[in-house]
Structure 1
Amino acid sequence: MSEQQYKLVITRKGLDECISAEAKGLSLPLKWVSAGDQAYTPSPAQTTLHNELQRVEFSEYKNTASNQIQAVAKFSGPKQYPIRELGFWLETGTLLGVISAPNVTLNYKPENGHCVQPFTLDLSALPTDSVNVVVGTENLNILIDEEMMMDAVSFLRSQVVQVNQAHMNMQLSENLRKSQGVIKQLQVELIAATQRLDEKVNVQREQIDNEIEVERMSDMEIFIRTQAQQIKQAEMNIVFDDRLRNVEIK
């Protein structure tokens, strides 16, 4: 289905009212959007939709070019139906234009749900500034222009950079936490190794002290033995001298 088949068809009655308003220096409020379930080729002679099922206020709009409007309407409620025709109504109750096409479903309104219907209205067939869109109480704020889009893209890119930086910081923090755990484990192992080394040093020191003590004991034993021999030798000499003196006396 080509874009031409989705264009807004301006009704004769709507055009007449816009021309009359422009001659008076007025701008007519474009207030409602209606939806129906019939698909057909719209006629400028229409004054109603073929089967209107629901009518709502405009939810949002913006001017995209000279005499061109991009807008949104939100259909809610219990009804469910295929959206095959859209009507656009002036505040006076006059049908300004219709969008529909044979065998084409524009959207679908679910039961007890919502349907947000976007559309573009080409008002170039009307006198300039002869209509103005009136937004209802429920403003969806979903239409943005190119500048806002670029700002949004820039913001999102900056957020991506910040998220990536935060992720890197988290990874560094996690690595640091793991490193601290390894350092603590190494400190525990170092303390245990130091204790084991101290124990070995103490054992070796005790062994050396024992060997020194044994050596000292050996030297003392030799000294005592030497002294004993000398004493025995002295005793023998005394006995010998006594005997010698006894001999000389006789």
Structure 2
Amino acid sequence: MSALIPLMTDAGLAACFNASSTGLDIKIAAIAVGDAAYRPDRTQIALKSERARRTLTGGEKVGPTQIHVNTLLDSNEDFWIREVGFISDTGILIAVWSHPDTPLVYNKAGQKHLLAYDLALSAVPADSINIISMNAPINLTLATEFALLSTAIVRTQHMLILPKLKLQGSRYDA
């Protein structure tokens, strides 16, 4: 498989330039995935066949021109992920990745994928890109699984302890 090296779009570069010249910054807010396979073009303004878009669940600046972003994909569709886009808070496609022959991963309906990427954005001014996330640590993506596990543990303990309490004449009512 080829490395996942996204191509900065002209719109993304323009947004970064405008942001740096006005003293503002551009914010990556979402990751989009699609099923089209192609060689990305700098003039792209959207994915060719977007199937899902999720807001970031986490991210951090690793350096002045490098960021780490992640999200949880939980689509109800079956498809090969063959394109990935990084979307600003204003809807601009900042960067895009695709490969004409090699898919990234297969998305199975009902299955969750943790999508995490490190982006080296050396083509833009330092500190011109920031991240908008849900302000929650990425380990919260497992909250449902932890809640189910905790419920199962409590129920098991209840089943094991309740008979012993009844034998000892406890007032514990189930």
TM-score class normalised by the smaller sequence: 0.7 to 0.9
User: Are the structure 2 counterparts of residues 69 and 136 from structure 1 closer, same or farther at C-alpha, using a change threshold of 3 Å?
Assistant: same
For residues 65 and 26 of structure 2, what CA distance do their matches in structure 1 show? 14
Residue by residue, what CA displacement relative to the aligned partner does 1:133-157 show, whole Å, maximum 9, x if unpaired? 1112664249xxxxxxxxxxxxxxx
Distance 1:106 1:138 in 2: 26
8 Å Cα contact 2:2-2:102 kept in structure 1: no
Question: TM-score normalised to the size of structure 2?
Answer: 0.74
Which position in structure 1 is the counterpart of 2:56? 58
Question: Is it true that 1:70 corresponds to 2:80 in the alignment?
Answer: no
Preserved CA contact (<8 Å) 2:58 2:135: no
Distance 2:136 2:107 in 1: 18
Q: 2:18 and 2:58 mapped to 1: Cα distance?
A: 26
Instruction: Provide Cα deviations, 1:143-183, integer angstroms capped at 9, x if missing partner.
Output: xxxxxxxxxxxxxxxxxxxxxxxxxxxxxxxxxxxxxxxxx
Residue 61 of structure 1 aligns to a residue in which SS? strand
Deviations along 1:187-206, one digit per CA (max 9) or x if unpaired, are xxxxxxxxxxxxxxxxxxxx
| CA–CA separation in structure 1 for the residues paired with 2:2 and 2:81 | 18
For the residue of structure 2 that corresponds to 1:113, the secondary structure is coil
Whether 1:40 aligns to 2:38 is: yes
SS at match of 1:21: helix
Q: In the TM superposition, what whole-angstrom CA distance separates every residue of 1:27-75 from its partner, at most 9, and x where no partner exists?
A: 1111011000112111100001010000001122233344112222211
Contact 1:107–1:117, Cα closer than 8 Å, also in 2: no
Distance 1:81 1:68, change over 3 A: same
Is 1:31 the counterpart of 2:29? The answer is yes
Match of 2:89 in 1: 91
CA contact (8 A) 2:57 2:136 kept: yes
Q: What code does the residue aligned with 2:86 have? A: F
Higher alpha-carbon Rg: 1
AA aligned opposite 2:118: T
Distance (whole Å) between structure 1 residues aligned to residue 58 and residue 105 of structure 2: 18
Deviation at 1:24, TM superposition (A): 0.7
> Does the aligned pair in 2 maintain the 1:88–1:98 contact within 8 Å?
yes
Give the secondary structure class of the aligned counterpart of 2:57. Answer: strand
CA contact 1:59–1:140 (8 Å) conserved in 2: yes
Deviating above 4 A after TM superposition, structure 1's stretches of 4 or more consecutive aligned residues are none
Q: Distance in 2 between matches of 1:90 and 1:122?
A: 16
Matched, 1:136 2:114: no
Measure the CA separation in 2 of the matches of 1:105 and 1:54. Answer: 16
Call closer, same or farther: CA 1:56–1:28 in 2, change over 3 Å. same
Question: In 2, distance between residues paired with 1:47 and 1:10?
Answer: 11
**TM-score, normalised via structure 1 length:** 0.52
2:105 corresponds in structure 1 to 107
Asked if the contact 1:108/1:115 (under 8 Å) is kept, the reply is no
Cα RMSD after superposing both structures: 1.7
Structure with the bigger percentage of helix: 1
Count of residues paired in the alignment = 140
In proportion to residue count, which structure has more strand? 2
